[in-house]
Structure 1
Amino acid sequence: MHEAPVINLGGLDIDLSIILMMVVTCTIVFVVAKLATRNLSVENPGKLQNFMEWAVEFVRNMITSTMDWKKGKPFLSLALTLILFIFVGNMLGLLFGVVTEYDDPAKAKIFGHEITSVTSFMKENQEKHPGEEVHAEVAWWKSPTADVGVTMGLALLVFLISNGLGLFKNTKNYLKHYIQPYPFFLPINIIEQLSKLLTHGVRLYANIFAGEVLISTIMGLAKASTIGAIFSIPLLMAWDGFSIFVGAIQAFVFVTLMIVYISQSIETHEEH
């Protein structure tokens, strides 16, 4: 596996590849949305406008399948932004890879900061294999959703929104549901809420990360020998095609669960 370009800044370990890919993903989503809505036309809509209209209608149907549209309408922009962000993020790791190699720990620097992940990796391997040449490969381009910090951050956002709606819109009934059907169910209900947070983020991360690991393995096979390179081409094409499907499904599942959690928070705590 490739190392991540981690630097220490202000006592915090910062993964530069994640920051880079988050910026790229946000930029792509913003540009697509901007171009799709730049020249709106009823009589002669462009391809991007048609795509955005389809995306809006698709997300609207997702919302109306779980709650009344009057209650769900305020969450249309959130759901649309999330599904576009996650889908684009999932796809970025399939395009290509940007990998740099380091043979000297002293040269593992960027913007004047030491790439701590590289130097620690090389030092550990030098201690284990003294006298041998050690080099580290750093991956700069990957899906941001292949990082558990990103997916758990998105899951935490959904967790705070859904539980915040229940807490502030209907405090009494929201707190009451933690002790239903009996007060001794309180620990179980709390664990249930926390498990939603955990599984929501880990599910997305695990699927995208596993896909990128397999892609790296196939690429390693291509470097191993000529025969490996020949066999890796159809394998890579097949897996990339399947990964597009998986990436789209995971974006759909993540946003669907968000809508379900919000629906449960709004309708259950208001009506029961």
Structure 2
Amino acid sequence: MHEIGVRETVQFAGFTFNWETLCMTWLTMAVVILIAFLATRSLKLVPSGWQMVVELIVNWLHGQIDAMMGKSGRFLAPFIVSLFMFLLVSNWLGLIPTLSSPTNDLNTTLALALIVIVMVHFLGLYKKGMHYVAHFFQPTPVFVVINVIEEIAKPITLSCRLFGNILAGEILIIVLLKLMPIWMPIPAVCWLAFSIFIGGVQAVIFTMLSMAYLANAVKEEEES
């Protein structure tokens, strides 16, 4: 059973790497790729199995993208779907006692949040140019300070929310498994089921907030 908060590190080229987080991240990516392979290896007109599950997720996310970003945001669908699948698998991976979630490491969640925020500003400048910069000075130029602070806070709150919830869930599962007798598994099973639900909810929240931020950068004025 792994220990929450205790991380194996390795040194390379003067940098310190969290070996456990790296391995779990690679495992998560491998699982996502495997799911994509299973869902697309024999496509059917009437989906079943993995194809049905993945199509339900993709269709739901496409609907959310159209609702939040409009037609101008459809090119981001591959990124949004990949982000959601990675978060979902990653959050659930730590529910296996011998494994840990990559998202129970603040480095992972902060990196994901920074990717989203960098994309927001890059796409905003690319699509709207100086009009995107001008919105930081609205409704009056004084508000630029508040708007800049808000932009700095976005990746912090986005990452800490996900990190805190996943870490807390894993800690409580391990505590329950150690405290509960082997013949009394009901509390641990109930908390495991609740953690599965929370992991899914956190993946949805992170993805929805990411889409909301991206919508500000790519959504056209006539679609607002």
Unaligned runs of 5+ in 2: none
C-alpha distance after superposition, 1:22-70 (max 9, x if no partner): 111000000110111111121x5331111121111111111122121x2
Stretches of 4+ aligned residues off by more than 6 angstroms: 268-272
1:24 to 27, 30, 44: 27
Q: Is the 8 A contact 1:170 1:270 kept in 2?
A: no
1:251 paired residue number: 203
2:170 to 188, 212, 219: 212
Aligned-residue CA RMSD in angstroms? 1.8
- The letter of the residue matching 1:4 is R
Normalised by the size of structure 2, how large is the TM-score?
0.92
Pick aligned residue for 1:145 from 99, 103, 106: 103
Q: What's 1:124 paired with?
A: none
- TM normalised by structure 1 equals 0.77
The aligned counterpart of 1:50 is: 52
Q: Quick check: 1:170–1:269 contact (8 Å CA) kept in 2?
A: no
Matched, 1:188 2:134: no
Question: Is this contact kept in 2: 1:6–1:13, CA < 8 A?
Answer: yes
Q: Which residue of 2 aligns with 1:261?
A: 213
Q: Report the CA distance shift for 1:229/1:47 in structure 2 as closer, same or farther (over 3 A).
A: closer
- In percent, how many aligned pairs have the same letter? 33
Q: Which has the larger radius of gyration?
A: 1
Q: Distance in 1 between matches of 2:123 and 2:50?
A: 34
Q: Indicate conservation of the 8 Å contact 1:173/1:270, yes or no.
A: no
Of 64, 67, 73, which aligns to 1:65?
67
Distance 2:116 2:26 in 1: 21
CA gap of 1:214–1:78, structure 2 versus 1, over 3 A, is: same
| Structure 2 CA distance for aligned equivalents of residues 189 and 64 of structure 1 | 26
The one-letter code matched in structure 2 to 1:28 is V
- CA distance in structure 1 between the aligned counterparts of 2:97 and 2:178, rounded to whole angstroms: 14
Unaligned runs of 5+ in 1: 98-140, 223-227
**1:46-99 deviations in whole A, cap 9, x for unaligned?**
31111121111111111122121x2121011111111111000000111222xx
